[in-house]
Amino acid sequence: MSSAVNTSVARQQVGYGQPSGPNYTTALGLAARGLLILVALVFTLFPVIWIISAAFNPSGSMISQTLIPSNVKSVDELFVNFQRLLNDPQVPFGRWIVNSLFVSITSTILSLMITVLAAYSFSRFRFRGRRNLMTMILLVQVFPNLLAMVAVYLMLIQIGRHVPILGLNQYGGLIMVYLGGAMGVNTLLVKGFFDTIPKDIDESALVDGATHWQTFWYLVFPLIRPILAVVALLAFVGTFNEFILARIILTDRNNWTLMVGLFNFVSAAFTDDWGVFAAGSLLAATPVVIVYIALQKYIVGGLTQGAVKE
């Protein structure tokens, strides 16, 4: 009896008598997942690869474009579109990208200041109308921005008569509109992160004689770097890639942001050059990629830690 049991155990250890069905099922499942991931990667990366190919295609035509640029006789021909983009007097590409960086960086810094202070107030202080004010801020974000285009345009005309720097065709007016749209979701996101920080820190600092501002700046602020990175990334990318508001508010060619300039460049009949447009699009994506790489170690922590209140 003991010998039979030992033989059975030995067979199970070496795999005798085990059904092979689950192994095939697991293999098929892994193959299906791998195929799905491959399809998703091709679907996601193909437009990017196609734009890169168009940027380095010296012919500048979408009809004759191939995935790998052909008929290239020298390395200099690969950068023909970039040279035409940067040297064309009718296309102030450098000025456009400087304008976009100025608007995006300024909006990001001001948005961080407003969002952090508002979120800290909602998280730590208890005052009358607090819940109703948070609900109002959230409800404002429900309505599409397109509904406010006419109202924003008329408001900037009226404001510009008294404060020209905040009127039409001014970066101050555009930045002011961007800041108004950044209050809702970012404030709630940062507030959720503040709620995860124990209030014992604030109470201990107050007992030691610190003011609310000292508690915030020296104790709480250093702990919120992950969520600051997330908000900064969202604000920068959102304003850098924004087109509709910038197209309505900025009317002067030299004041255009990069997205407005590229749109007007490609929509003009006499400059229908897809190779140069692809080169501009590739250069336009560079600042966003740099910001992603610089803040990537904070992004995951900022999105997950603020999602659950401890």
**Residues 219, 205 contacting (CB under 8 angstroms):** yes
Q: pLDDT tens digit string along 28-67?
A: 878 888 889 988 888 888 888 888 888 888 776 666 666 7
Cα–Cα distance for residue pair 167/287, rounded to 1 Å: 28
pLDDT at 107: 92
Range 95-112 burial, b when 16+ CB lie within 10 A, else e = ebbebbeebbbbbbebbb
Q: Which residue has the higher pLDDT, 210 or 100?
A: 100
- CA 271 to each of CA 84, 115, 263: distance values in angstroms, whole numbers, following the listed order: 12, 42, 11
pLDDT digits (tens, 9 = 90+) for 268-303: 644 457 788 888 888 888 888 888 888 777 766 555
Determine the pLDDT at residue 172: 92
- pLDDT recorded at residue 85: 82
209: left (phi over 0), alpha (psi -120 to 50) or beta: left
- The residue-averaged pLDDT of 120-142 equals 83
Q: What residue type is assigned to position 242 of the chain?
A: E
Q: What percent of the chain lies above the pLDDT cut of 70?
A: 81
pTM of the model: 0.78
How distant is the alpha carbon of residue 200 from its chain centre?
Answer: 34
At residue 16, does pLDDT exceed 60? no
User: If you average pLDDT over residues 161-173, what whole number do you get?
Assistant: 90
Quick check: 257 and 250 in contact, CB under 8 A?
Answer: yes
For 78-103, write each residue's pLDDT tens digit. Answer: 788 888 888 877 778 889 999 999 99
Q: Tokens for 14, please give them.
A: 């070496």
- Mean pLDDT over the full length of the chain: 79
Confidence of residue 104 (pLDDT cuts 50, 70, 90): very high
Fold of 86-305: MetI-like fold (1.10.3720)
Q: Are 202 and 217 in contact (CB under 8 A)?
A: no
On whether the CB atoms of residues 193 and 306 are closer than 8 A, the answer is yes
- Report the C-alpha gap between 18 and 128 in whole angstroms: 69
Alpha-carbon distance of 138 to 188, in angstroms, equals 8
The three-state DSSP-derived secondary structure of the chain is CHHHHHHHHHHHHHCCCCCCHHHHHHHHHHHHHHHHHHHHHHHHHHHHHHHHHHHCCCCCCCCCCCCCCCCCCCHHHHHHHHHHHHHCCCCCHHHHHHHHHHHHHHHHHHHHHHHHHHHHHHHHCCCCCHHHHHHHHHHHCCCCHHHHHHHHHHHHHHHHHHCHHHCCCCHHHHHHHHHHHCCHHHHHHHHHHHHCCCCHHHHHHHHCCCCHHHHHHHHHHHHHHHHHHHHHHHHHHHHHCCCHHHHHHCCCHHHCCHHHHHHHHHHCHHHCCHHHHHHHHHHHHHHHHHHHHHHHHHHHHHHHHCCCCC
